[in-house]
């Protein structure tokens, strides 16, 4: 069947203005909606506009645009951004994504000059630039919230360097520690998270723009100047890799998964500690909920929900890894699916960190209950063995002696400190009266571990002081 010129013109008019020349029929309405990403990638609008302003500025600097054209583009883009932020911009599904929506609106307003903006670039390098700009901003925001949480942990730790609690292995009482010492373990986890994010930021902060679709461009662009305008530390060196690389997003999601794993471990402890069986800490009511039928209930909903949300962030990481594992170079439409797992991980860790940053400094430890718990489970047994070793007993022999003493304590339902000197001397005549001061008190136990990383209160205080310094040294260069 022969198609008339008029029919061809009508068909072409119904295709997208961005690529209509090649197509002879309009995109199916369902396909247009199915392939659109503007529903979720419109959150890139600031980064897209910033990238376009930098691109236009660079094009004018090399003579591809006139200064007047550059100024018209920049003014038009700034006006569009103002309207977006005021909720007055009409996002169109038929224009597929944030980039085409903004460019089409710019062209509508300033005419043919708007069409010149896309000179020397492709949506492939444009979206790769936007996602890096966006993630860079979100990393900085996440680091700021992590710092707030870390400061809150140090503040709480300062108040409890002498608050004794049991330390656990296998969830069984092991040795006494202080509440501060335990909090500093959380601090170390989160400090590693900050280091990972800052390291990820370095690899994120490289400019893909100028790679165009996959092979670069014939225009005399200045990528170094564009990178400078956008605050990138370097340019991506290979055009094929630049448009198809999503390692930085995977790396961020891996760091996010580790953050959530740490928050989940902290949550698990808080859930245990607030139970009637432990009663170690109290979480303020504002972070808890009750039961619809049991009036006595005070549920630790924030820690429980954070523990649950860790699973979705782990899934976001797996989504990105699976997305990328089978893709040939260079860009593929698959990569439209990179954004939602990234956005979800960003949003989830932001909410969880904000909740913890508010909640952790507000925890109230039940000091007496913690101490009483540390007295149960023979937590000073190792100290008694060390006491014997210092008197010349081989450690394996000391271990056996103390094991027998513990068996007696179990039989009589007494802690080692509650046994009499005569009872202890059944197992070794090297045990003398000083054992009760040097080995079997909780205070002696924690104070005896007097080295960096140990439980001695003066070491914990020093660790807190170092923590404040480490935070300042870590964050000052990254977010300046």
b/e 60-75 (16+ beta carbons within 10 angstroms → b): bbeebbeeebbebbbe
| SS3 state of residue 366 | coil
- Given a contact cutoff of 8 angstroms between Cβ atoms, the answer to whether 302 and 359 are in contact is yes
Told to judge if 170 belongs to the known catalytic residues of this protein, a careful annotator would answer yes
Cβ-based neighbours of 23, under 8 Å, separated by 6 or more: 12, 15, 16
Burial class (CB in 10 A: 0-12, 13-18, 19+), 353: buried
Burial grade of 158 (CB within 10 A; 0-12, 13-18, 19 or more)? middle
Token match 């140090």: residue?
A: 154
Instruction: Supply 12's token pair.
Output: 């072409």
**Torsion from C-alpha of 25, 31, 35, 41, nearest 10 degrees:** 90
Catalytic site residue from 4, 170, 292, 480:
170
Q: Both tokens of residue 460?
A: 């914990």
Beta bridge partners of residue 365, listed in sequence order? 281
> Strand pairing of 234-235 and 206-207?
parallel
CA gap 335, 244 in Å, rounded: 8
Chain CA centroid to CA 476, Å: 18
Active-site residue 291, yes or no? yes
CB 373 within 8 A of CB 424: no
| Number of C-beta neighbours around residue 473 at 10 A | 9
Smallest CA-to-CA distance from 48 within 94, 2, 84 is with 84
Closest CA to 66 of 113, 121, 108: 113
Comparing CA positions, the residue from 453, 436, 426, 422 lying closest to residue 387 is 436
Q: Alpha carbon of 368 to those of 135, 181, 233, 408, 419: distances in Å?
A: 46, 17, 53, 26, 22
Looking at residue 299, the DSSP 8-state letter turns out to be B
**At 429, is the secondary structure helix, strand, or coil?**
coil
Query: Choosing from 12, 194, 267, 291, which is the catalytic residue?
Result: 291
CA dihedral 335, 341, 345, 351 (to 10 degrees): 120
Name residue 299's beta-bridge partners: 289
Beta bridge partners of 164: 178
Residues known to be catalytic: 170, 291
């Amino acid at each position: 069947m022969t198609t008339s010129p008029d029919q061809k013109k009508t068909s072409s008019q119904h295709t997208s203005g961005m690529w209509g020349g090649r197509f002879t029929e309009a995109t199916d309405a369902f396909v247009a909606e199915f392939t659109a990403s503007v529903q979720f990638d419109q959150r890139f609008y600031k980064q897209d506009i910033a990238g376009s302003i930098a691109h236009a500025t660079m094009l004018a600097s090399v003579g591809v645009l006139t200064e007047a054209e550059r100024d018209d583009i920049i003014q038009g883009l700034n006006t569009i951004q103002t309207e977006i932020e005021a909720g007055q911009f009409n996002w169109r599904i038929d224009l597929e994504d944030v980039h085409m929506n903004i460019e089409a609106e710019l062209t509508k307003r300033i005419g043919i000059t708007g069409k010149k903006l896309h000179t020397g670039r492709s949506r492939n390098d444009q979206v790769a630039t936007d996602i890096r700009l966006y993630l860079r901003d979100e990393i900085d925001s996440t680091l700021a919230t992590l710092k707030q949480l870390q400061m809150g942990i140090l503040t709480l730790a300062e108040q409890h360097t002498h608050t004794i609690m049991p330390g656990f292995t296998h969830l069984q009482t092991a040795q006494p520690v202080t509440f501060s010492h335990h909090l500093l373990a959380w601090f170390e986890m989160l400090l590693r998270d900050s280091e990972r994010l800052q390291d990820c930021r370095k690899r994120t902060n490289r400019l893909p723009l100028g790679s165009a679709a996959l092979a670069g461009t014939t225009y005399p662009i200045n990528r170094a100047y564009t990178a400078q305008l956008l605050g990138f530390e370097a340019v991506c060196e290979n055009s094929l890799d630049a448009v198809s690389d999503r390692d930085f997003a995977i790396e961020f999601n891996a760091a996010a998964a580790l953050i959530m794993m740490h928050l989940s471990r902290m949550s698990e402890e808080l859930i245990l500690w607030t139970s009637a069986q432990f009663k170690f800490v109290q979480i303020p009511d504002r972070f808890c909920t009750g039961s619809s039928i049991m009036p006595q209930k005070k549920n630790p909903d924030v820690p429980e929900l954070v523990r649950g949300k860790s699973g979705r962030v782990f899934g976001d990481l797996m989504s990105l890894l699976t997305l990328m594992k089978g893709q040939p170079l260079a860009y593929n439409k698959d990569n439209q699916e990179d954004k939602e797992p990234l956005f979800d991980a960003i949003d989830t860790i932001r909410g969880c960190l904000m909740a913890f940053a508010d909640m952790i400094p507000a925890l109230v430890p039940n000091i007496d209950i913690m101490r009483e718990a540390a007295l149960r489970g023979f937590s000073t047994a190792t100290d008694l063995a060390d006491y014997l070793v210092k008197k010349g007993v081989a450690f394996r022999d000391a271990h056996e002696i103390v094991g027998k003493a513990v068996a007696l304590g179990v039989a009589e339902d007494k802690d080692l400190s509650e046994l009499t000197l005569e009872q202890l001397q059944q197992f070794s005549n090297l045990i003398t009266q000083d054992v009760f001061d040097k080995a079997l008190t909780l205070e002696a136990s924690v104070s005896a571990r007097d080295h960096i990383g140990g439980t001695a209160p003066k070491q914990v205080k020093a660790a807190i002081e170092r923590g404040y310094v480490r935070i300042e040294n870590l964050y000052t260069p990254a977010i300046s």
